């Protein structure tokens, strides 16, 4: 993947941020832009605004259904002052981009770039892209000492400071930020917002469009899940999208299965049992002992009942992502793999992620399954009936 990085406080995210990301994608041919919110900018010590968790959620709420954009919370997890050089090393090590990643900067930062930590090393590791943010006098590009590519973009004259000021003063601001961010600001009374939230007249009606369903389900998942669980779900959806494209499968169907696979995780045991029973499959001894395992089956039922999804490949992929099944289809295998090795999961063997670039689907699936089973056995965790049947079927195919 050709990746670009767009960092910032995103306090809050506004349309100018997403406009720059879209411009970088279309003008320089990147496959994906990684949005990275700071924990604490070295140039904004003491700045007020939303918490890191709120800023992450506003970002997540602002990009549903767009696989060209992703969020990485590495600076929030590191805490402390956020230095770009540390983030670049982290992103390169984990995401392993094709060639140098791009680093998108506004021209308003050009004059201070030399004050960043290790600017020369940054310039060696990335392709610096300087976008237009400033109108008026030369912002300092004439004396910029490092190679860079200029992005001749239109200027969207919006800043996070402007948005915060408008919110606190009760001025018009709502369409300077993406709708998802707006709803969170209103719901949580961020930035001094004091009025009641306006009625949501733009709530999306159910439709036959797969894109509409994806956006609706993604917003539900973001609301229902914790931030970390939602980040996992979206990263699963992104890896599923990428693998589907590689293996010639329907990437939109894969994204929907990935974003929905854990949507029932927060439900209580009684509700999980009630939903799972609706698929007619009964409950195994292991599922009775550990009802949380039913979240996969419950998720497939919920997606069908509430969102009208009837595609059997999507429903099977959600239903089988936890314990597997003997006759899993291709999409189900992809979602199983993505769930286990997506980029935010810790402790994943790098060799498994490397297989995503080279192995065929059955080889990749077998490697991830065997790794998962070995991990469960090392912890003396019982294997489900479905997993045992899957292992037996694979053994039989490999040893006729």
Contact between residue 354 and residue 346 where contact means Cβ atoms under 8 Å apart:
no
CATH number at 373 reads 1.10.3210.10
In a domain, 198, yes or no: no
Tell me what pLDDT residue 285 has: 78
Query: Are residues 180 and 215 both part of a single domain?
Result: no
In a domain, 256, yes or no: yes
Query: Are residues 251 and 169 both part of a single domain?
Result: no
Query: Are residues 164 and 258 both part of a single domain?
Result: no
Query: Are residues 180 and 241 both part of a single domain?
Result: no
Query: Are residues 267 and 136 both part of a single domain?
Result: no
DSSP state of 263: T
Number of domains present in the structure of the chain: 2
Contact between residue 243 and residue 73 where contact means Cβ atoms under 8 Å apart:
no
End-to-end CA distance of the chain: 38
Contact between residue 138 and residue 164 where contact means Cβ atoms under 8 Å apart:
no
Query: Are residues 92 and 33 both part of a single domain?
Result: yes
Q: Residue 212 and residue 202: Cα distance in Å, rounded?
A: 13
In degrees rounded to 5, what are phi and psi of residue 6? -130, 105
In a domain, 342, yes or no: yes
Tell me what pLDDT residue 321 has: 94
Q: Residue 253 and residue 235: Cα distance in Å, rounded?
A: 15
Contact between residue 164 and residue 144 where contact means Cβ atoms under 8 Å apart:
no
Query: Are residues 233 and 382 both part of a single domain?
Result: yes
Tell me what pLDDT residue 27 has: 95
Q: Residue 61 and residue 202: Cα distance in Å, rounded?
A: 15
Query: Are residues 216 and 186 both part of a single domain?
Result: no
Tell me what pLDDT residue 398 has: 66
In a domain, 204, yes or no: no
Question: Residue 205 CB: number of other CB atoms within 10 A?
Answer: 6
Query: Are residues 292 and 333 both part of a single domain?
Result: yes
Q: Which domain holds residue 142?
A: 3-192
Cis, bond preceding 58 (omega within 30 deg of 0): no
In a domain, 199, yes or no: no
From 166, 192, 218, give the residue that closes a domain: 192
The predicted-structure confidence for 180-238, as pLDDT tens digits, reads as follows 999 889 888 899 997 544 443 333 333 347 888 898 899 999 999 999 999 999 999 99
Instruction: Provide the H-helix boundaries in 4-151.
Output: 15-28, 52-62, 74-78, 84-95, 119-125
Contact between residue 275 and residue 303 where contact means Cβ atoms under 8 Å apart:
no
Q: Which of 167, 157, 333 lies closest to 258, judged by CA?
A: 333
Contact between residue 317 and residue 257 where contact means Cβ atoms under 8 Å apart:
yes
pLDDT tens for the chain, 400 residues: list them. 899 999 999 999 999 999 999 999 999 999 999 999 999 876 555 456 899 999 999 999 999 999 999 999 999 999 988 899 999 999 999 999 999 999 999 988 888 898 999 999 999 999 999 998 866 655 557 678 899 999 988 999 999 999 999 999 999 999 999 999 998 898 888 999 975 444 433 333 333 478 888 988 999 999 999 999 999 999 999 999 999 999 999 999 999 999 999 999 999 999 999 999 898 877 777 778 888 889 999 999 999 999 999 999 999 999 999 988 888 999 999 999 999 999 999 999 999 999 999 999 999 999 999 998 888 888 777 776 677 767 766 766 666 5
Angle CA(150)–CA(151)–CA(155) in degrees, nearest 5?
Answer: 125
Q: Which two tokens stand for residue 382?
A: 């019982």
In a domain, 200, yes or no: no
From 133, 157, 192, give the residue that closes a domain: 192
Tell me what pLDDT residue 207 has: 38
What is the separation of C-alpha 306 from the centre of its chain, rounded to a whole number of angstroms? 23
Tell me what pLDDT residue 287 has: 78
From 158, 192, 226, give the residue that closes a domain: 192
Query: Are residues 182 and 215 both part of a single domain?
Result: no
DSSP three-state, residue 99: coil
The predicted-structure confidence for 49-63, as pLDDT tens digits, reads as follows 899 999 999 999 999
Query: Are residues 50 and 152 both part of a single domain?
Result: yes
Q: Which two tokens stand for residue 390?
A: 């899957």
In a domain, 100, yes or no: yes
CATH number at 174 reads 3.40.50.620
Q: Which of 96, 93, 94 lies closest to 31, judged by CA?
A: 96
Query: Are residues 174 and 233 both part of a single domain?
Result: no
Q: Which two tokens stand for residue 115?
A: 């004050």
In a domain, 203, yes or no: no
């Amino acid at each position: 993947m050709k990746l670009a990085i767009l960092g910032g406080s995103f306090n809050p995210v506004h349309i100018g941020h997403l406009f720059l990301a879209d411009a970088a994608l279309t003008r320089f041919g990147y496959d994906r832009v990684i949005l990275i919110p700071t924990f604490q900018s070295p140039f904004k010590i003491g700045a007020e605004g939303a918490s890191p968790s709120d800023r992450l959620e506003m970002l997540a709420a602002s990009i549903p259904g767009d696989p060209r954009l992703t969020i990485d919370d590495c600076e929030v997890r590191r805490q402390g002052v956020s230095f770009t050089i540390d983030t670049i090393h982290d992103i390169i090590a984990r995401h392993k981009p094709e060639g140098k990643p791009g680093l998108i900067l506004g021209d308003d930062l050009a004059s201070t770039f030399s004050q960043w930590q290790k600017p020369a090393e940054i310039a060696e590791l990335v392709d610096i892209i300087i976008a237009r943010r400033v109108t008026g006098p030369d912002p300092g590009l004439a004396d910029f000492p490092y190679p860079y590519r200029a992005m001749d973009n239109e200027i969207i004259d919006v800043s996070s400071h402007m948005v915060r000021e408008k919110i606190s003063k009760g001025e018009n601001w709502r369409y300077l930020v993406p709708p998802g961010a707006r709803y969170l600001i209103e719901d949580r009374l961020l930035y001094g917002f004091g009025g009641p939230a306006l009625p949501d007249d733009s709530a999306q009606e159910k439709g036959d469009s797969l894109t509409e369903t994806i956006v609706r389900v993604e917003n539900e998942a973001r609301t229902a899940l914790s931030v970390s669980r939602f980040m996992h779900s979206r990263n699963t959806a992104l890896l599923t999208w990428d693998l589907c494209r590689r293996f010639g499968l329907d990437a939109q169907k894969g994204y929907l299965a990935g974003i929905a696979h854990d949507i029932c995780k927060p439900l209580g045991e009684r509700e999980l049992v009630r939903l799972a029973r609706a698929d007619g499959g009964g409950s195994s001894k292991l599922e009775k002992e550990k009802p949380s395992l039913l979240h996969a089956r419950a998720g497939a039922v919920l997606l069908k009942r509430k969102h009208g999804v009837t595609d059997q490949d999507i429903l099977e992929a959600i239903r089988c992502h936890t314990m597997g099944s003997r006759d899993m289809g291709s999409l189900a295998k992809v979602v199983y793999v993505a769930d286990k090795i997506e980029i935010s999961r810790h402790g994943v063997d790098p060799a498994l992620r490397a297989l995503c670039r080279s192995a065929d689907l059955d080889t990749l699936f077998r490697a991830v399954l065997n790794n998962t089973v070995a991990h469960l056995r090392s912890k003396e965790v019982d294997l489900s009936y479905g997993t045992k049947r899957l292992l037996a079927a694979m053994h039989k195919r490999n040893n006729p």
